[in-house]
Amino acid sequence: MALAKIRNFIDNSLKTVSTPLDRTVNLEPEIGIKIMHSPNDKTLNVTVLGARHLPQNFGFTRVNSYVVKVKLIPGKDKFETTSRNESWPQWNEEFVFPLRKETKQKFGKSKVVEEEINGSRFIVATLYAILEDKPLIATEKKESEKTSPTKEASKKGGKKKEGQSTSSDNQDSTKNKLFSQFFGKNSDKLAESTATERRAYDKRRTVGATTIPLDPKNFVCKPPKSKHTSDVSTGDLWKPLRPIASGISGADERKENKKGQVELSLCLSKGEKDEDSGGQLILSLNRLRCSLQTMHEHEGLKGQMYLKMSVVDSGRITHFWKSDRFTPTVSMKFSPETARVVADNPYKGALNDVSFVVKFVSKNKMGKKTPVGHFVIGPDVGGAYGEQWKQALAKPGQQITKWQAFE
């Protein structure tokens, strides 16, 4: 009888649990947001409830904690939650966005106007994963081990000559104190703060973001604990976290490339002789956009990445530019004044055999190079690559800026 009851209980439980188990096979990362609008206080209260189905690791590195950044667009105000070291973090942290805009008028007077809430304004919540920092802890231990024997040696060696060693050490210490008093205090503090900020930023990885339009149709609930009767709320919203898009305009260019995209400017400087000869053809790099999938793949290789632009004239590389190595990232800016290559145009028809080659390469710690993607901009290339070349030659002196995808 007991075995029969156990079998019936297991069969019934499996029948009831089978449907939710089927739904949770492929779970996407989600974030919980609640937005309340208070017309009397002229504020927008955004509460970050929590997140679920988050990734446990990125490549071979485990996730230490999670952080959510909330921003009102358009607007300059943005807030960030505290870090949570949980697989299903719960914050329940509220952030207040003021909806009052102060406008200056004549005679030094100012007027406060409430900003309207409509579908053209958004709340964007971005979730970041903070990775563990085990390699840094290991290096600190090694450095401490290296410094410890020197301290012991200094203690032992201090007995050799009492007068010379102590006097020189005291002179050096007094000099260092004087220099630190006049020059070194503020610079050391700034250097330490910037170094810590860079370390914290390098450890962050973007899990995804969600966008909630402030459409009045979404505010359908009344908050249970509210100061005013006119307060309205969206209730608890659980939104999936999507990869951050690059925001490129254009119907064809909106499709995100898995390997990455770069924003390039091509300009033909005007020569002294005529429009077709003289001057230079300059290709400059502005920005890089990489997909999260590519970033995670190459981060698992424990390597770094770099970009290379080359000028190829009749099958021979005449000039090239190579960026510094950087960790896999979603977005990165470059200085167009330095990130550039130049092709000379001394006579008419000199650019017929010239082309630009742009490469995106990943290099691991062992020195092995893995090509991510490349493309060529030149006269005999079709598609968007050839179109940018033709427009630059047709309009001397104008910068033709376009987003180009790696193949």
Residue 147's pLDDT is 45
Using one digit for the tens of pLDDT, what is the confidence trace for 134-160?
Answer: 543 343 444 444 444 444 444 444 444
CB proximity list for 205: less than 8 A, separation 6 or greater: 58, 128, 129, 130, 131, 295, 299
CA distances from 84 to 127, 128, 205, 334 (A): 11, 11, 15, 33
- List, in sequence order, the alpha helices (H) in 126-184: 134-157, 162-179
Measure the CA–CA gap between 397 and 282, rounded to whole angstroms. 10
Residue 155's pLDDT is 45
Helices (H) and strands (E) in the chain, counts: 6, 21
pTM: 0.50
Q: What are residue 160's phi and psi, to 5 degrees? A: -70, -60
Handedness of CA 74, 76, 82, 85 (dihedral sign): positive
- List, in sequence order, the alpha helices (H) in 66-107: none
The position carrying tokens 């973001």 is 209
Measure the CA–CA gap between 94 and 343, rounded to whole angstroms. 55
Measure the CA–CA gap between 25 and 251, rounded to whole angstroms. 34
Which of these, 204, 64, 62, 56, lies nearest to 126 by C-alpha position? 204
Residue 264's pLDDT is 93
Measure the CA–CA gap between 100 and 120, rounded to whole angstroms. 17
Could you give the domains of the chain? 30-135+198-240 (2.60.40.150), 250-405 (2.60.40.150)
Task: Please check whether residue 355 is in contact with residue 376, taking contact to mean a CB–CB distance below 8 angstroms.
Answer: yes
Task: Please check whether residue 265 is in contact with residue 61, taking contact to mean a CB–CB distance below 8 angstroms.
Answer: no
Alpha carbon dihedral 349, 351, 353, 357, in 10-degree steps, equals -170
CB proximity list for 213: less than 8 A, separation 6 or greater: 119, 121, 122
Flag residues of the chain having pLDDT under 70: 1-26, 59-60, 102-114, 133-202, 244-258, 271-278, 292-293, 296, 299-302
| DSSP symbols for 17-73 | HHHHHHHTSSPPPEEEEEEEEETTTTEEEEEEEEEES--SEETTEEEEEEEEEEEEE
Peptide bond between residue 396 and the one before it cis (omega within 30 degrees of 0)? no
Using one digit for the tens of pLDDT, what is the confidence trace for 288-332?
Answer: 887 766 776 776 666 788 999 999 988 899 889 999 888 777 778
DSSP 129: E
Residue 139's pLDDT is 38
The position carrying tokens 């007027």 is 111
